[in-house]
Amino acid sequence: MCVGCCEKMTIVSISVTDELLRRFDEVLATKGFRSRSDAMRESMRSFVDEAEWESSDGENQIVITMIYDEVGPRGELSILQHRYEEIQMMLHLHLEKGQCMEVFIARGPNNRLREILGKIRKVKGVRSIRFISTSRSND
């Protein structure tokens, strides 16, 4: 049953070991999925997103988080935001012990998003960078 969407769903049958299914069921219950189908759709989206991110000609949305010292590179990060129109939003948070977090939300061609990540990695004082990418798919 497809609740809250108008697309026709195709039923897919897969073969897995009993052990893998048991572990899958444990994880989907822990994460709060309503059904195996919901969890499989999420897993398939992640699989496709990862493959599309690796493709140089695709487009994605990306959330980038950076941790740095309070007296660090905020000016350089601000310059990046203005230099790249793909960066659509920037959020600054004060963390504990004189550290800050910067969050960029960007969307555009994968090659430009990878370029942005490369520039951030070169900014002196950024201690940690993490990112999540999602494709522009409507699936």
Q: Are residues 50 and 82 in the same domain?
A: no
Q: Which residue has the tokens 């499989």?
A: 40
Q: Please report whether residue 122 resides in a domain.
A: yes
**Listed residue (111, 123, 15, 14) closest to 62, CA to CA:** 111
Total domains present in the chain:
2
Q: Are residues 29 and 88 in the same domain?
A: no
Q: Are residues 63 and 115 in the same domain?
A: yes
Residues 6+ apart with CB under 8 A from 92: 74, 100, 101, 102, 103
Written as tens digits, the pLDDT of the chain (139 aa) is 445 555 788 999 999 999 999 999 999 999 898 999 999 988 888 888 777 777 767 788 999 999 988 777 778 888 898 999 999 999 999 998 889 999 999 999 988 999 999 999 888 888 889 988 876 655 5
Q: Are residues 63 and 50 in the same domain?
A: no
Q: Are residues 79 and 105 in the same domain?
A: yes
Q: Are residues 69 and 49 in the same domain?
A: no
Q: How far apart are CA 137 and CA 139, in angstroms?
A: 6
Task: Report the Cα 94 to chain-centroid distance in Å.
Answer: 22
Task: Report the Cα 85 to chain-centroid distance in Å.
Answer: 19
Question: How much is the pLDDT for 137?
Answer: 55
**Listed residue (40, 45, 65) closest to 117, CA to CA:** 65
Check: pTM over 0.75? Answer yes or no: no
Q: Are residues 86 and 107 in the same domain?
A: yes
Q: Please report whether residue 5 resides in a domain.
A: no
Q: Are residues 24 and 84 in the same domain?
A: no
Question: How much is the pLDDT for 139?
Answer: 55
Question: Which H helix or E strand runs over 9?
Answer: none
Q: Are residues 89 and 39 in the same domain?
A: no
Question: How much is the pLDDT for 91?
Answer: 93
> Measured at the alpha carbon of residue 43, what is the angle toward residues 134 and 104, in degrees to the nearest 5?
25
Q: Please report whether residue 23 resides in a domain.
A: yes
Domain span holding position 129:
59-135
Q: Please report whether residue 81 resides in a domain.
A: yes
